[in-house]
Amino acid sequence: MSVVNTTIEHVAGFRVAGVHAGFKKDGRLDFALVVSDQPCVTAGVFTTNRMQAAPVILDQERLAQNASAIRAVAVNTGCANACTGEEGLSRARQTTQWVGETLGCAPDAVLVLSTGVIGTQLNMNAMRQGIDLAAQSLGHEWFAAAKSIMTTDTRPKLGSVSVTLSNGTRCEIAGISKGAGMIAPNMATLLGVVITDAGLSAEVASRALQAASGKTFNRIVVDGDMSTNDTVLLLANGASGATISSAADEAAFTEALTALCRKLAQDIVRDGEGVTKFITLHITGAPDEAAAHQIANTIATSPLVKTAFFGGDANWGRIVAAAGRAGVPIPPEHTRLWITAGEVEGTTADSLLLFEKGMPTAFSEQTSTAIFRNASVSIHLDCGMGAGEAIVWTCDLSYDYVKINGDYRS
């Protein structure tokens, strides 16, 4: 798998800025602008929540009409522009108008992302200020850009990866993300902006982003809630001269993109609200991948499983029982469950078998507890049925999760 850097050095033809626009009161960075000098082929994946925020509605409209000529993405925090009706949509359009005028491009070459309070209208004074300040300071400060899209994230999330194509040309892929932040009166929003200086067709961009996000952003669970604003964008401007034109190059690009998205997605789990444990759930032997994913999601969203993780308790019964109610006809007598310290997929020599043949094994409580005391624990459940498998990354449910989400307004 491609090596992902934890910084972003340079992606040809892209500039960014992260500024304090005034959406938040305390002077923190709250607005980011990502700009490409050349039009970008762009793909997006969006929340399937029916209560779609205005930026989600607008971006989908833009990508349907203009997916090969996107020039900029404006991201604000402090306001989700969700549940804001026609007025909210109108303010989102106004934002793209201003960005277009400032950068000298058409409004429909601009996309918008918002995260923050639901049900309040965008502060357009802050927006005007943010656009002006950001346009003046466009450069390569990716760390600041990543920081400016944070909500209650405790650290910025960014990364980059290089791809060498079969003809020897090289391109960069880089991205920023934000996640498990929680803002009155709403919820964690997953946002991701990934850029590349590779040349891609709209079809390849869409296929690569679907494949990568399906295995990464779509495979993380903090609390199982899905936001009104979740969005991941991929912008490709071709400025490196490296063009994806063969199936082999597309595969190499998709692999690298997946590695990057995996890093950005895992960072969201690690920085989830109140998280003390990082859990890798690997389901194998399911009838198909969808069934494996369903089992993994059921385990990952079970409050009983998540509180046991928090307690450092190797509670195999809760994991097996959650798998049993996932809606997949798994046979108890052929189901096996292992745990391993650290982040591993499948089973290693250090794995401990806890359950097989419908019963717990005679495992040592001391060994299982020692494994569960680690900050990272991996669970492997084999259903003994078919070839379907899936990996989901998740976390525990702690006092702090309840505190962050229950107490913040009272």
Going by DSSP bridges, is the β-strand pair 388-395/352-356 parallel, antiparallel, or unpaired? Answer: unpaired
| Shortest Cβ 408–a second copy spacing (Å) | 7
| Choice between 5 and 49, CB closer to a second copy | 49
| Shortest Cβ 401–a second copy spacing (Å) | 7
- Side chain identity at residue 278, one-letter code: F
| Choice between 253 and 401, CB closer to a second copy | 401
| Choice between 66 and 374, CB closer to a second copy | 374
- Side chain identity at residue 158, one-letter code: L
| Choice between 188 and 260, CB closer to a second copy | 188
Q: Is 329 exposed, middle or buried (0-12, 13-18, 19+ CB in 10 A)?
A: exposed
What is the Cα–Cα distance from 54 to 63, expressed in whole angstroms? Answer: 14
What are the tokens at 193? Answer: 């902006």
| Shortest Cβ 86–a second copy spacing (Å) | 8
| Choice between 313 and 350, CB closer to a second copy | 313
Do the beta carbons of residue 36 and residue 13 sit within 8 Å?
A: yes
| Shortest Cβ 13–a second copy spacing (Å) | 37
Say whether 189 is catalytic.
Answer: yes
- Nearest 5°: CA angle at 378, between 375 and 379? 135
Residues 6 or more apart in contact with residue 14 via CB below 8 angstroms: 34, 35, 36, 37, 174, 195, 197, 235, 237, 239
Catalytic residue among 42, 47, 77, 189: 189
| Shortest Cβ 182–a second copy spacing (Å) | 8
What SS3 state is found at 351? Answer: coil
Question: Residue 282: beta bridge partners?
Answer: 380, 391
The dihedral built from the CA positions of residue 337, 342, 343 and 345, taken in this order, carries a sign that is negative
What is the Cα–Cα distance from 268 to 243, expressed in whole angstroms? Answer: 31
| Shortest Cβ 92–a second copy spacing (Å) | 14
Do the beta carbons of residue 269 and residue 190 sit within 8 Å?
A: no
| Choice between 201 and 367, CB closer to a second copy | 367
| Choice between 66 and 361, CB closer to a second copy | 361
What are the tokens at 258? Answer: 């997946």
| Shortest Cβ 279–a second copy spacing (Å) | 14
Residues that bind a second copy in the complex, under the rule CB under 8 A: 47-52, 82-85, 118-119, 182, 185-188, 223-228, 301-304, 307-308, 310-313, 315-318, 320-325, 328-333, 355, 357-360, 396-399, 401-403, 405-410
User: H/E element holding 159?
Assistant: strand 157-164
| Choice between 188 and 256, CB closer to a second copy | 188
| Shortest Cβ 312–a second copy spacing (Å) | 5
What SS3 state is found at 114? Answer: strand
- Nearest 5°: CA angle at 251, between 212 and 192? 25
What is the Cα–Cα distance from 78 to 125, expressed in whole angstroms? Answer: 13
Do the beta carbons of residue 287 and residue 334 sit within 8 Å?
A: no
What SS3 state is found at 111? Answer: strand
Phi, psi of 205 (to 5 degrees): -60, -45
What's the full length of the chain, in residues?
410
Q: Which residues are catalytic?
A: 189
